[in-house]
Structure 1
Amino acid sequence: MKIGDKVRLVHGKESGIITRVIDALQIEVEIEDGFRIPVAKREVTVISTEEGLLTGRTSAPEPDQTAAVKTLDGNIQIAFQAFNDRTHRVFLINQRNCPVLFSCFKKTKQHTLLIQSGKLESNGILSLDEWNTSEFSSWPNLLFQFIYLLPSIEKMIQPYSAEVIVKAEKFYKNKKHHPLLKGEANTWAIDSDLKLDSKEIETLTSVLNNPSTAAGLLAFDEPEAEVDLHIEKLDAEWESLTPMQIMHIQTSTFEKKLDQAIACGMDEITFIHGVGNNVLKNELHKRLSKNKRIDFFKDAKKERFGYGATLVKLK
């Protein structure tokens, strides 16, 4: 049950469209006479989940499965389109050349609430929410998680996370006609900093299609024995990154270096993550605890790092 679904009241004759998810138990429904009413989820039943009931548009066509996609092109966009002089509708638009699995969270000072999750096809449009234009200064941040479903290399691409912060300068500077929305919208890319090397993708695809050649094609450089995950060591322009982007870079580097260490037969590797509020440390320890290729891990050389580094012993 999501925004855009057509529903009917269980104990009444009224039907309408879901326009807002209020909380885990309640939704807002716009009934046929134009009124919007709060309704308990248990009091409605879904009539149709066709994409476009809310927007008047149809869902994306089924992708052509006959053509193998080998490179990741395009981007995923966030769009804000004025519905009337009081309301903006928030859309997620997939202009990548492959489907994506997504989760979208609304972040406020009090809590983080899941708005929607699911699969969005290439060139698909999804209405996420409706926001009051007069409350622009207090619009919440949106947190996104994406998994890209490239048929031949989907397992080779790490899940991507991003935080969208709506600022006036960026919002009004990016107003333009959007062909998929068939009108003007304030639009920008969410995952434009995701870069993949096309030659590397072709090599990985070749390996998957010809396993016998894998040994010759996959050559790993042995990583340094101590890997510093402080963001200033990983990205020269780190000051412009959001916390979600910083975490994505740090965890991706961690996964890459750990895989290299295992592939090269190293006995151990140390990750320097710092202390801070322990968010990065806890995330690394959670991932290590689920990795069957790890013998054990512990705080490394307390006399040097305090509690700011983790030694990983490999099997």
Structure 2
Amino acid sequence: MKYKLGDFVRFVDENMEGYVTRIISNDMIGVTGADDFEIPVLVSKVTSVHGHQTADDSVPQASNAGASEDANFKDKGIYLAVVPDPKTGAVVHFHLINETSYQLLLTLISQQNQQYKGEFAGIIAPASQQKIYSAPLADLQIWPALNLQVLYYTNQNKKTPDALNITEKFKAKDFAGSKKNIPLMNQQGWLIRLDEDEVVIDAEKLKESFFKPAEEKQLVDKPTGEVDLHIEKLTPEHQFLSSATILNMQLTHFKKTLDAAIVHQLPEITFIHGAGNGTLRHELHKLLGKNNRIQTFMDARKEKFGYGATKVILK
């Protein structure tokens, strides 16, 4: 395939240009223009825009020099980073981040419906990063599983770790957390640690924990009188979440806040859920109706909230 996701192209027969946001086949790609509409087009009907900086060109590469002394040798620090394309939000790029002093031999195989495809093979130098895969964001729910295999190499007097063999099948909830600054890239994205430290259980501390006195009740923050359950108030990354995940997050926050209101003996509390299709309101009322600590509940002030909030009176 001549083009990659994120490449900037111009139509041969029309006055249009945009970014490649989907690889449909060897002969067909999807191009998204300034209007955010994706247009399927034959590869033969577009051309690269010369001199246009690609997503890869904008990422500064770290030094590939390895550690020269054992004292400076870094054994840990391998991550998979997922970063939005800086020019088109319709595409994300996967980068292998190598903060260790090892050279890493990496292979990446995608798997979908028992179909396997080699996506990347190469050497990642110490203290460097490499783009290894790209995917259209709109297809997140049907992304293939990604299998990464990593071998370590160094010419120093070091026992190399066992090879890593990791398979990831991403879901929307994996991107529910806030973006972080990606090491070696100076870009914001989501970071997944691949070489987690093994959990070592201290037998003595474990034994002591069985004989510890009961801990004092954990302090619970006192909620405000009005609690907004709109998903954009709960997480800044809500655009990646499915409807089911959003509803689950809203209900979890509702239960936690209601419990806090009961602990602090608030006389009443209002939950702002919005009108929408009524699903969240229905679920809240169902839970409130089963709670014996609730005296009654009703639609909150209609002149302020319409039918988008519920007022709860506590016993």
Q: TM-score range by the shorter chain?
A: 0.3 to 0.5
Task: Provide the TM-score with structure 1 as the length reference.
Answer: 0.44
* Larger-gyration structure (1/2): 2
Taking structure 2 as the reference length, the TM-score comes to 0.44
